[in-house]
Amino acid sequence: MSAAMASEGRHAVLVNEPMSKHTTWRVGGPADVYYSPRCRADLLDFLRSLQAGTPVTFVGLGSNLLVRDGGIRGVVVATGQALTQVRNLGGGQVEAEAGVPCTVLARQCGRWQLGPAEWFAGIPGTVGGALRMNAGAFGGETWARVLEVDTVTRSGEVITRGREAFTVGYREVQGPGDRAPVPPGEFFLAARFAFDEGYESPPGRMQEVLAERSRKQPLGLPSCGSVFRNPPGDFAARLIETAGLKGRRRGAAEVSAKHANFIINTGGATAADIEALIAEVRATVAGHHGVTLQPEVHIVGEPVAAGVSA
């Protein structure tokens, strides 16, 4: 069943909501509770109302995410409909909330003559996801422009931390005192970025970034974006292709013939198909090249119990 438990304006709480409706791979079992806040205050009130111990998972556009077929226990918080404000703070500073698509941030910076920010258009996700993994594209990386971030605790407390509180690497961010993107039980709400004022984007640069994505990536088919991180001094796509894996399938999941670091859902794939193909690609590349690829995609949720249909 997918039934509304509460509805006030854009606020919605759904039960047993299929995550296949909210991920770019179009796979994933049900979330016990799927919550879309209408604003930051609404989100904070909701978090404060939850019973202690209730698991919470934040999602943005559902890219870079594989939800297993058994779904997600507890509450999924979807930021993409509420935390979508971008503000010009002056002095080259921009505040963007976690649900802002990175393409929107890039375009808005262009309108304000702040930059360089065109490369954000190459990230197929939200600011929250980009913060979590230090996403990058076309020579830029998210945390190179971060001044400070707001996080929210599981109990609804907002905490502001400077860039120096985090250890940042390639597609990796470690929060204070641990190896998680933020301390356990905290989630990104917003960030303040520093850009150059009076920046003149090269004519057509934004269009070039978007056209390059379209030319190289299978954008018309369900995928999560890049599946694996590039290893030092090499490219995951090259390693996968030269291992003879383009077109390799598990069920309806397929290594893209257009870009080998993409796995596409050709129609009717399950999360188990995709996860099995990820494992096969890793094993084959390790055997062929002696390189163990590290997944860039985040895998969450529960597998389907044995003997239970997805």
pLDDT tens track for 196-251: 999 887 777 777 777 777 777 777 889 998 999 999 999 999 999 999 999 999 99
- Structural domain range at position 186: 86-197
Task: Grade residue 137 by pLDDT with cuts at 50, 70 and 90.
Answer: confident
Annotated active-site residue 171? The verdict is yes
Residue 249 belongs to a domain with what CATH number?
3.90.78.10
* pLDDT (0 to 100) of residue 2: 38
Contacts of 106 (CB under 8 A, 6+ apart): 117, 118, 119, 120, 121, 206, 209
Residue 237: in which H helix or E strand, if any?
helix 236-242
Task: Please check whether residue 98 lies inside any domain of the structure.
Answer: yes
Annotated active-site residue 256? The verdict is no
Residues 62 and 100 in one domain: no
Three-state secondary structure readout of 92-148: CEEEEECCCEHHHHHHHHHHCCEECCHHHHHCCCEHHHHHHHCCEECCEEHHHHEEE
**What is the residue-wise DSSP string for 3-61?**
EEEEEETTEEEEEEEEGGGSSTT----EEEEEEE-SSHHHHHHHHHHSPTT--EEEESS
Mean pLDDT of all residues in 106-127: 92
> Structurally, how many domains does the chain consist of?
3
* pLDDT (0 to 100) of residue 5: 44
Q: What is the mean pLDDT of the chain?
A: 90
Residues 189 and 223 in one domain: no
Last residue of a domain, one of 40, 59, 78: 78
Q: Does the pLDDT value for residue 140 go beyond 50?
A: yes
- Out of 26, 226, 254, 282, pick the active-site residue: 226
Rounded-to-5 percentages of helix, strand, coil across the chain:
25, 30, 45
**Are 126 and 79 spatial neighbours (Cβ–Cβ below 8 Å)?**
yes
Mean pLDDT of all residues in 160-178: 89
Mean pLDDT of all residues in 25-49: 95
Task: Please check whether residue 307 lies inside any domain of the structure.
Answer: no
The structure's pTM equals 0.88
Last residue of a domain, one of 166, 197, 228: 197
Q: Does the pLDDT value for residue 120 go beyond 60?
A: yes
Residues 114 and 71 in one domain: no
Last residue of a domain, one of 31, 57, 78: 78
Residues 123 and 144 in one domain: yes
* pLDDT (0 to 100) of residue 212: 73
SS3 253: strand
- Out of 171, 205, 213, 250, pick the active-site residue: 171
Residues 71 and 100 in one domain: no
Residues 60 and 93 in one domain: no
Distance between CA atoms of residues 309 and 218, nearest Å: 30
Distance between CA atoms of residues 141 and 289, nearest Å: 28
Q: How many CB atoms within 10 Å of residue 210?
A: 16
**Percent of the chain's residues with pLDDT above 70:** 94
Annotated active-site residue 226? The verdict is yes
